[in-house]
Chains A and B, each alone.
Chain A
Amino acid sequence: MNNDKIEQILNEHQGQAGALIKVLMEIQEENKWLPREVLVQVSEKLEVPLSRVLRIATIYKTFSLTPKGRYQVNICTGTACQVRGSQQVLEEVQKLTGIKPGETDPDMKFSLETVNCQGCCSLGPLVEIDGKTHGKTAPAEIADALKKYE
């Protein structure tokens, strides 16, 4: 956890209750998840009740209150990707990483998530690893793609 960076984000928005979501998003981006202590800090710095911070942090899918792996793996399960076989890709990824959607592996390497339409259905089945889009994936190819990430 990069405390200096978080401190810097918080100092920039000191006392600005309206910047709550922005601050949480920046910390999420920086740290990949929102630890409890950080939420308490946000509440103190921005002068927002902790209850509101928690409500906002639990309502949006962007925010994670559990630790995330270094690489976020998003598998599209939208209609087009589904038809093109995303289920098999998902099963293969689950087998390779040993985790189910919503989980993180013990080495903190991958976090798996299923997502809905990513907006490029012609590339389905779509797998996004660490922000990079892999289109037209086949279950047999996905192992090679995952191996590149250490």
Chain B
Amino acid sequence: MSEIIIQIDGREIAADEGMTVLEAAQKAGISIPTLCYLETLEPYGACRLCSVEVEVRGRTNLVAACLYPVEKDLIVRTRTEKVDRIRKVILELLLAHAPEARGLKMQEYAEEYGADKNRYEKEPSFCIQCGLCVRYCAEIKKKSAICFVNKGPSREIQFIPEIASKECWNCTECFPLCPTEYLQGVFVLTKALAFPSTPMGPSAE
């Protein structure tokens, strides 16, 4: 693997080819906030909290650090005014869905970026659709007992009763991954098992 030198926040950093900006930054001890990222899973780019400014050949662009691969002469800025503002708004939007998120990360970030959880009208679905539980179950456990259903505003996570009734009580490994609420997973799972025939689809609302 050839080494690539990139610049993050003014520091020269050596990264391996194929690494993402986030991995390179973490290796160098530069912290970039993330919610939907987990080392063992494929990057997903759902929360966009890891947005950073990159400069390639004089052009700057905003990208998700967890997905963007390192390249030669890349200049990355992780804490510009613009990036901070974007992260603040992302957090405020996410907090509208999960205002009382108990996940430590979210409250910490909210404080760090000065996000006001009351800025947007609350719509407490308790899910920020980071997909951690869905991806963990599919990629690590290879059970796919939980999935996303529907689309747009009605998109939500749902356990599949046929699989969940056999697998989930002995596992529950996805619950602690949730950035908002441990109980969210428990609730959705219980609902799926108690009412296995609940119709799905937009007409079900």
Q: Is the CB of B203 within 8 A of A102?
A: yes
Segment at the A interface, from B25-33, B84-92, B141-149: B141-149
How does the 8 Å CB contact mask read for A33-54 relative to B, with 1 for contact and 0 for none? 0001000100000000111101
Q: Give every chain B residue within 8 A of A49 (Cβ-Cβ).
A: 138, 144
As a 0/1 sequence over residues 56 to 67 of chain A, the CB contacts with chain B under 8 angstroms (1 = contact) are 011101011110
Shortest CB–CB separation between residue A72 and chain B, in angstroms? 14
Is A52 touching B201 in the complex (CB atoms < 8 A)?
no
Beta-carbon nearest neighbor of A51 in chain B:
B147
Which of A54, A58, A65 contacts B151, CB < 8 Å? A58
Contacts of A58 in B (CB 8 A): 149-151, 200-202
* B153 smallest CB distance to A (angstroms): 13
Kindly report which residue of chain B lies nearest to residue A40, judged by CB atoms: B162
In angstroms, how far is the closest chain A Cβ from the Cβ of B139?
Answer: 11
Q: Is A55 touching B199 in the complex (CB atoms < 8 A)?
A: no
B163 CB–A CB distance under 8 Å = yes
Do A50 and B162 form a contact, CB below 8 Å, given A36-B197, A59-B151? yes
Contacts of B201 in A (CB 8 A): 57-58, 63-66
Q: Which residue of A lies closest to B154 (CB)?
A: A58
Per-residue interface assignment for chain B, residues 176 to 205, with 1 indicating a CB less than 8 Å from any chain A CB and 0 otherwise? 000000000000000000000101111110
Chain A residues with CB under 8 Å of B204's CB are 65-66
- The reply to whether the CB of B160 lies closer than 8 angstroms to some CB of chain A is yes
Using Cβ atoms and an 8 Å threshold, which residues of chain B touch A40?
162
Pairwise interchain contact A51-B138, C-beta atoms closer than 8 A: yes
In the complex, chain A residues whose CB is within 8 Å of the CB of B138 = 49, 51
Inter-subunit contact A54/B149 (CB<8 Å)? yes
Q: In the bound complex, how far is the Cα of B124 from the Cα of A116, in angstroms? A: 31
What residues on A are CB-neighbors of B197 within 8 Å? 36
A-side contacts of B134, CB under 8 Å: 51
Q: Within the assembled complex, what's the spacing in Å between the Cα atoms of A36 and B202?
A: 16
B144 engages A50 (CB within 8 Å): yes
B148 touches A55 (CB 8 A): yes
CA distance A23 to B53 in the complex (A): 43
Using CB atoms, name the residue of chain B closest to A61.
Answer: B202
A64 to B: closest C-beta gap in Å: 7
User: CB within 8 A of B147: which of A55, A66, A102?
Assistant: A55
Instruction: Return chain B residues, CB-CB under 8 Å to A65.
Output: 199-201, 203-204
Name the CB-closest residue of B to A60: B151
Q: What residues of A have a CB within 8 angstroms of the CB of B147 in the complex?
A: 50-52, 54-55
Alpha-carbon gap, A59 to B156, bound state (A): 11
Within 8 Å CB of B149, what residues of A? 54-55, 58-59
On chain B, the residues within 8 Å of A64 by CB distance are: 201, 203
The proximity string for B residues 75-115 relative to A, scoring 1 for CB distances below 8 Å and 0 otherwise, is 00000000000000000000000000000000000000000
Minimal beta-carbon separation of A19 from chain B (angstroms) = 19
A-B contact pairs, 15 of them (CB 8 A): A49-B138, A49-B144, A50-B147, A50-B162, A51-B134, A51-B145, A54-B147, A55-B148, A59-B149, A59-B150, A64-B203, A65-B200, A65-B201, A66-B201, A102-B203
B-binding residues in A (CB < 8 A): 36, 40, 49-52, 54-55, 57-59, 61, 63-66, 102-103
